Amino acid sequence: MVVTKQTSKAEKIILGLDPGTSVMGYGVIKISGTKMTMLQYGVIHLSKYANHEVKLRKIFDRVTSLINDYLPDEVALEAPFYGKNIQSMLKLGRAQGVAMAAALQKDLPITEYAPKKVKMSVTGNGNASKEQVAEMLKTLLGIKEIPKLLDATDALGVAVCHHFQGKTGTSSTKSWKAFINDNPGRVK
């Protein structure tokens, strides 16, 4: 499905992403005034690809496709959490970077949120389980059935958190156009 961009100031589309190297979640919501509607959510299955570079290419291609299909105004990503396995953190960081690159090529503002921030914003509890986040999103967005893979609802949670925070690309990660406008002396 291809959507044409006809948004007013009172309407915006947010793409939420939950980066991963085995499964990556995505969720798209539309805000019209005070109404929040879920447009799409799902996962990108990556575990079937043995080569990490192929996984990164699939992430880039799918995020680019989502951007082309839904024309989001903003992108929100869940920031990686700090774990003990350095190799896993590096791979997760690459997955997040590739997703960001897909958004940056379209000059979309990007904001990152810590997992606890997303959980707090959606459920009121920063230590909520993935299941609790999914149940709250079911209520907020009228989702009929919670998916088997909660990476999809995690991504929707990131988009909803972004809406609740009222931010518009205010993190340190912005589009290249915004960087150039903010730093004209650093570009040659």
Query: Quick check: is 6 in a domain?
Result: no
Alpha-helix residue ranges (DSSP H) falling in the chain:
52-70, 86-104, 115-123, 130-141, 151-165, 176-182
pTM, whole model, 2 decimals? 0.83
Burial class (CB within 10 angstroms; exposed 0-12, middle 13-18, buried 19+) of 35:
exposed
pLDDT of residue 180: 65
CATH code for the domain of 19: 3.30.420.10
Query: Quick check: is 181 in a domain?
Result: no
Q: Which residues are annotated as a binding site for Mg(2+)?
A: 18, 78, 151
Query: Quick check: is 182 in a domain?
Result: no
Number of structural domains (the chain) is: 1
Question: By residue range, what is the domain housing residue 27?
Answer: 11-176
Least trusted range by pLDDT, from 12-21, 65-74, 136-145, 165-174: 165-174
User: Catalytic amino acids?
Assistant: 18, 78, 151
